[in-house]
Amino acid sequence: MSAIAEAIDAGTLPGRVWMYADYHCNLACTYCLTESAPGVSKRLLDPDEMIRIAREAAELGYRDIGITGGEPFLLRHLPETLAAVSEYLPTLVLTNGTLFNETRLAELAPLARLPVALQISLDSPDPDVNDEMRGPDNFATVIDAIPRLRDLGITVRIATTGEPDRLDEDDHARLCALHRELGVPDEDHIVRPIVRRGRAADVGLGQDFAPEQIPAELCISVDGAFWSPFGPTVRGGELDTDLLISRTTAPLSRPANLLLRLIQGRLPGDAAAIGIR
Ligand code: SF4
């Protein structure tokens, strides 16, 4: 058994490897950590590289894969790449849920038989409040997409991002009633704070977190390997490198072992409270 697999078994090292598939997006949310928008630098991870990372992650003893961006479903190859990646490990994809037209849904249908789940952002039970941060008609589009995906048999999770004072008890209860109505169970709904990086920092939103508060999840982007998917964020068009572990990502064992060395001696789990899933 590899040192990585032993650390994952012991709970010292998180069992997920993240990948940034891209950085461009059809939306431009107010709190976006990566300053994503239609015209930004795409910073694409090659699909073969994504499959290689998944294969090596499985060999090292990791337990699952997370794919984020940008908006991953802007990439035409994504359904096919997800099928290949999920041959190695169960895969969670973070998406804004706004690109699922009939053509895209037909391409996604085969994923229903595979260990692939989609995590869609929905920030409020009130369309106006949700759309204020995420853009016009976002609420309606997402509410339309979730049942269509579920009808295909695809697992859908919902992620709610916001300032602590933005979602009071009543909002939270209405949001939970809504996701249950859409067929998403409580265990597949997560609520997470805004992290003060990227565009959120520009507009003074979110909270600052020390590295020890962020789970040490290995995250690979085209620019290198990072401590956590909160690592390869973008500010003023420039990549943040404060959580960069290594520019080398192949073989995956290299950044994985570097990360393991960095966390040895740290308290596992308890101090690492902030996650994006
Ligand atoms: S938060 Fe997500 S959906 Fe919004 S602009 Fe950024 S990448 Fe796109």
d(CA 125, CA 174): 6
What is the signed CA dihedral for 216, 57, 254, 2, rounded to 10 degrees? 90
Q: What is the mean pLDDT of residues 134-158?
A: 97
pLDDT for position 177: 97
pLDDT for position 167: 79
d(CA 178, CA 189): 11
d(CA 132, CA 163): 13
pTM of the model: 0.94
Is the CB of residue 97 below 6 angstroms from any atom belonging to ligand 1? Answer: no
Backbone dihedral region of 188: left (phi > 0), alpha (psi from -120 to 50 degrees) or beta? alpha
Is the CB of residue 25 below 6 angstroms from any atom belonging to ligand 1? Answer: yes
Is the CB of residue 276 below 6 angstroms from any atom belonging to ligand 1? Answer: no
Q: What is the mean pLDDT of residues 110-136?
A: 96
Q: Is the pLDDT of residue 150 over 70?
A: yes
Is the CB of residue 32 below 6 angstroms from any atom belonging to ligand 1? Answer: yes
d(CA 163, CA 38): 25
Give me the phi and psi of 205, to 5 degrees please: -100, 155
User: Which residue ranges form the domains of the chain, and what is each CATH number?
Assistant: 3-7+23-209 (3.20.20.70)
Residue 264 pLDDT level (bands cut at 50, 70, 90) = confident
Cα–Cα distances (Å) from 150 to 61, 101, 108, in that order, read 30, 14, 11
Identity of residue 198: G
| Tokens 């058994």, residue located | 1
Among protein residues, the one with the nearest Cα to ligand 1's atom 7 is 70
> What DSSP assignment string belongs to 44-111?
PPPHHHHHHHHHHHHHHT--EEEEESS-GGGSTTHHHHHHHHTTTS-EEEEE-S----HHHHHHHGGG
d(CA 183, CA 95): 18
